[in-house]
């Protein structure tokens, strides 16, 4: 729990990973390039005193993750967003089954999301059923630019993808998190275009589309689509660390998001381990719009708005009663272990 | 590239200054992408980008623009462009110097780079429109007057660094030159101002702006500006992480 100006802020980190990019796990040069690229993002936006060395970054393990999120990072709950990349990594970069180990150990703390890839055909649909049955997943993370043999990506508005979305609807997997982020090679340039979200969101009004990384560097396209589609949300992973070293730009991005989507459709995510919540949560909570930005966008980034962004919006999508959950978490294994119970709130 | 430059180098740098990072709409000289420059009868330009994973299409656009701009400098016989520290450095360097098309070099590319370039140019035009329209609002023009302006209504006075805008019979308003001149330049390049009596400002789709749609269109151009500035900040941070702070 984070305390801000005397108020409790329930933090749901909506974008976390437990990855393995160790050299032993890399089977394709893309795997090495991928982690190097992540590391550039890490060092570019992390305050120097909080930067990790590359070896730790490659594989930090579940113990460190639990400490970084819950003991040091003010996080109350975290949502696993798997990224398979099985063409690049022997056992995958971070898969649902791997994440499930921690999620099963601390079921009150983690939300486990699955994934699908329409190129997997019938087998993939069965896998989706298995993940629902075995783990009760409520969401999926989609990496539309993932390499698979000769294919360099897929589109969310393809008939094959629609078949999967139909399946999600049927199974009650309502939260669809497409990654639409920075243009990076070795992933395909076109596969991060946000245009395909538009048609999918219109065709599946009963599903929520949480566009991760708010489409950056296609924020304008994303906002325009989101303004028309009430079931489109924005995940702040990658945009959030701007609050640290580019606060003015962060203000502009938040201004756009609040202007086009409103305060109920933006979700905080640290993108752990790209960035750690221990410095990111306070930085975002302390961020303010300039007077000029408040006038320009006609919006305000108040404590109430921030509380929605930090947890309440995700709680709504994932059916979490925050007050009830607070009670449960007070005495759970994590609270006991790190002495986080009542009266021991870090701030 | 901060050492003193010869007149030959200056002429080449002036041309290179016209080459923009298409995603950021900023000069590659200003962005510190030029890594090495050698000028005699032939010119060698080496450049590097903020990450090795910059879209190869964007890298390709910059490489071809470098070649074409430098070729315009008088007394230059031959231009060699070299991209370094990029995962497709070798293919791009070879392909651009051999003047081959993008899709011939990248076999998995479904098309050339022109569609991507047109899309980025269009966004750059919108971002510039935002600044230009704000300049006119600051100068006291009303939205109804702004949407009615044509290219004929605006005149640039380079010496005085101002633009003169004819708003109505006999009424002229002055505004700072740069945002308006930069907008007109990009609008021309993107084909939305091909005739002098065409509307100065148009929607993202190139249509005239109805007065009641002014706010919405203006907000959309603002989003294009915010996006471009945001991506600029990402590239800048990655550039610094990779090569250290520039001077």
Model confidence at B44: pLDDT above 50: yes
Residue A347: pLDDT above 50? no
Rg, Å, chain A Cα set: 19
Pairwise CB contact (< 8 Å): B230 & A219: yes
Q: Tell me the pLDDT tens digit for each residue of B113-168.
A: 888 899 999 999 999 999 999 999 999 999 999 999 999 999 999 999 999 999 97
Model confidence, pTM: 0.93
CA distance B238 to chain A (A): 6
Residues of B in contact with A257 (CB under 8 A): none
Tell me which of A54 and A34 has the higher pLDDT.
Answer: A54
Tell me, yes or no, if A190 comes closer than 8 A to chain B by beta carbon.
yes
Which residue of B60, B233, B235, B242 is the best one to mutate when testing the A interface, meaning the one whose CB has the most A CBs within 10 A? B233
Q: Chain A neighbours among B 115-144 (CB < 8 Å)?
A: 116, 123, 126
CA B180 vs. chain centroid, Å, equals 14
* Mean pLDDT of the residues in chain A: 94
Is the model's pLDDT at A241 over the cut of 80? yes
Instruction: State the average pLDDT over residues A284-289.
Output: 97
The pLDDT assigned to A145 comes to: 84
Closest CA to A81 of A283, A297, A318: A318
In this prediction, residue B245 has a pLDDT band, given cuts at 50, 70 and 90, of: low
Say if A218 is an interface residue toward chain B (CB within 8 Å).
yes
pLDDT for A345 equals 47
pLDDT on residue A29: 87
A residues 65..124 contacting B (CB < 8 A): none
Interface test with B, best of A34, A45, A153, A217 (most B CBs within 10 A): A217
Nearest residue of B to residue A248 by CA position? B230
Q: What is the pLDDT of residue B1?
A: 54
Q: Do A220 and B123 touch (CB under 8 A)?
A: yes
pLDDT at position B247 over 50: no
Average pLDDT rounded to a whole number, residues A182-194: 66
C-alpha–C-alpha distance, residues A239 and B103, integer Å: 33
- The interface predicted TM-score (ipTM) is 0.91
- Cα separation, B228 vs B211, in Å, equals 26
pLDDT digits (tens, 9 = 90+) for B68-87: 999 999 888 999 999 999 98
- Flag if A185 and B58 touch (Cβ within 8 Å): no
In this structure, of A319-323, B31-35, B105-109, the range with the lowest mean pLDDT score is B105-109
CB contact under 8 A, B53 and A253: no
Least confidently predicted of A207-211, A314-318, A330-334: A330-334
Strand order in the sheet with B34-39: B34-39, B42-48, B78-84
Give the chain B residue whose CA is nearest to the CA of A39. Answer: B241
Identify the pLDDT of residue A152.
78
- pLDDT higher than 60, residue A186: no
Q: Do A260 and B223 touch (CB under 8 A)?
A: yes
B234 touches chain A (CB under 8 A): yes
- Residues B110-127 as b/e (b if ≥16 CB within 10 A, e otherwise) read eeebeebbeebbbbbbbb
The verdict on a CB contact (< 8 Å) between B53 and A189 is no
- Please say if the pLDDT value at position B111 is more than 80: no
Contact A183 B87 (CB under 8 A): no
Residue A346 confidence (pLDDT): 46
Mean pLDDT confidence for A287-306: 97
Indicate if the pLDDT at residue A172 is higher than 80.
Answer: yes
- The rounded mean pLDDT for chain B is 92
- Minimal Cβ distance to A184: which of B23, B53, B57: B53
Would the pLDDT of A191 be above 90?
Answer: no
Q: Do A33 and B51 touch (CB under 8 A)?
A: no
> Does A245 sit within 8 Å of B237, measured CB to CB?
yes
Tell the residue number behind the tokens 């070798």, with chain if given. B90
pLDDT reading at B54 higher than 80? yes
| Of B109 and A9, the one with more pLDDT | A9
Please report, rounded to a whole number, the percentage of residues in chain B having pLDDT higher than 90.
74
Q: Are A201 and A231 in contact (CB under 8 A)?
A: yes
**Among positive and negative, which fits the CA dihedral A270, A276, A281, A284?**
negative
The per-residue pLDDT for range A89-138, each reduced to its tens digit, is 999 999 999 999 999 999 999 999 999 999 999 999 999 999 999 999 99
Per-residue confidence (pLDDT) for residue A184, from 0 to 100: 62
Contact A185 B220 (CB under 8 A): no
CA distance to partner chain B, nearest, from residue A256 (Å):
7
Partner-chain contact B110 A190, CB within 8 Å: yes
Q: How many Cα atoms sit within 13 Å of A264 on the Cβ side?
A: 6
- Residue-level pLDDT at B196: 86
Burial class (CB in 10 A: 0-12, 13-18, 19+), B186: buried
Residue A275 reports pLDDT greater than 80: yes
Hunting for tokens 């639990």 — which residue is that? A66
> For the residues of B128-180, what is the DSSP string, one character each?
HHHHHHHHHHHTT--HHHHHH-BGGGEEEETTTTEEEEEEETTEEEEEEHHHH
| C-alpha A82 chain-centroid distance | 9
Residue predicted with more confidence, B237 or A209: A209
pLDDT in tens, B177-223: 999 999 999 999 999 998 889 999 999 999 999 999 999 999 999 99
Contacts of B143 (CB under 8 A, 6+ apart): B137, B211, B214, B215
Yes or no, beta carbons of B88 and A184 under 8 Å apart: no
Distance CA A175, CA A320 (A): 14
CB pairs under 8 A between A and B: 88
Q: For chain A, give the percent of residues with pLDDT over 90.
A: 87
More confident residue, B247 or B49: B49
Report the chain B residue with the minimal C-alpha distance to residue A245: B237
pLDDT of residue B110: 72
Token pair belonging to B245? 């702070």
Summarize the confidence of residues A307-331 as an average pLDDT: 97
Q: Is B246 on the interface with A (CB under 8 A)?
A: no
């Amino acid at each position: 729990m984070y305390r801000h100006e005397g108020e409790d802020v329930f933090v749901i980190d909506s974008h976390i990973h437990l990855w393995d990019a160790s050299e032993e796990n890399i089977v394709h040069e893309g795997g090495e390039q991928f982690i190097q690229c992540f590391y550039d993002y890490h060092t570019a936006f992390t305050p120097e005193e909080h930067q990790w060395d590359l070896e730790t970054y490659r594989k930090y393990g579940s113990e460190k993750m639990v400490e970084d999120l819950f003991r040091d990072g003010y996080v109350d709950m975290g949502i696993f967003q798997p990224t398979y990349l099985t063409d690049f990594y022997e056992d995958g970069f971070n898969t649902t089954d791997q994440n499930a180990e921690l999620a099963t150990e601390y079921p009150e703390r983690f939300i486990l999301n699955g994934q699908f890839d329409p190129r997997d055909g019938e087998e993939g649909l069965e896998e989706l059923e298995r993940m629902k049955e075995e783990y009760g997943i409520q969401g999926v993370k989609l990496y539309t630019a993932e390499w698979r043999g000769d294919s360099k990506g897929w589109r969310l508005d393809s008939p094959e993808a629609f078949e999967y979305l139909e399946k999600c609807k049927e199974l009650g997997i309502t939260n669809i998190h497409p990654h639409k982020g920075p243009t990076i090679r070795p992933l395909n340039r076109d596969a991060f275009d946000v245009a395909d979200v538009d048609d999918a969101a219109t065709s599946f009004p009963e599903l929520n589309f949480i566009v991760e990384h708010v489409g950056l560097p296609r924020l304008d396209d994303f906002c325009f689509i989101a303004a028309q589609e009430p079931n489109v949300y924005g995940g702040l992973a990658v945009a959030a660390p701007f609050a640290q070293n580019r606060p003015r730009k962060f203000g502009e991005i938040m201004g756009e998001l609040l202007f086009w989507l409103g305060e109920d459709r933006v979700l905080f995510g640290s993108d752990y381990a790209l960035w750690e919540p221990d410095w990111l949560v306070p930085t975002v909570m302390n961020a303010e719009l300039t007077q000029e930005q408040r006038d320009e966008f006609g919006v305000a980034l108040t404590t109430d708005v921030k509380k929605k962004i930090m947890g309440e919006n995700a709680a709504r999508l994932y059916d979490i009663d925050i007050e009830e959950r607070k009670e449960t978490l007070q005495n759970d294994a994590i609270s006991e272990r790190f002495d986080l119970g009542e009266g021991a709130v870090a701030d | 590239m901060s050492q003193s430059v010869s007149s030959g180098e200056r002429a080449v740098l002036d041309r290179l200054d016209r080459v923009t990072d298409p995603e950021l709409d900023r000069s590659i000289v200003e962005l510190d992408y030029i890594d090495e420059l050698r000028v005699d009868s032939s010119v060698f330009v080496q450049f590097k980008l903020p990450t090795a994973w910059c879209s190869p299409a964007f890298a390709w656009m910059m490489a071809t623009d470098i070649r074409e701009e430098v070729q315009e400098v008088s007394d230059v016989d031959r231009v060699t462009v070299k991209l370094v520290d990029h995962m497709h450095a070798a293919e791009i360097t070879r392909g651009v110097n051999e003047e081959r098309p993008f899709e011939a070099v990248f076999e998995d590319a479904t098309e050339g780079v022109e569609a991507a370039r047109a899309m980025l140019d269009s966004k750059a035009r919108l971002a510039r429109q935002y600044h230009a329209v704000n300049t006119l609002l600051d100068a006291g023009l009303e939205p109804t007057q702004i949407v009615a302006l044509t290219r004929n209504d605006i005149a640039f006075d380079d010496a005085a660094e101002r633009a003169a805008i004819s708003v109505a019979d006999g009424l002229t308003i002055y505004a700072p030159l740069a945002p308006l001149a930069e907008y007109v330049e990009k609008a021309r390049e993107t084909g939305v101002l091909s005739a002098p009596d065409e509307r100065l400002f148009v929607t993202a789709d190139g249509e005239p702006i109805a007065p009641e749609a002014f706010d919405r269109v203006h907000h959309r151009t603002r989003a294009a500006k915010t996006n471009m500035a945001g991506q600029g900040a990402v590239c800048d941070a990655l550039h610094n992480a990779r090569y250290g702070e520039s001077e």
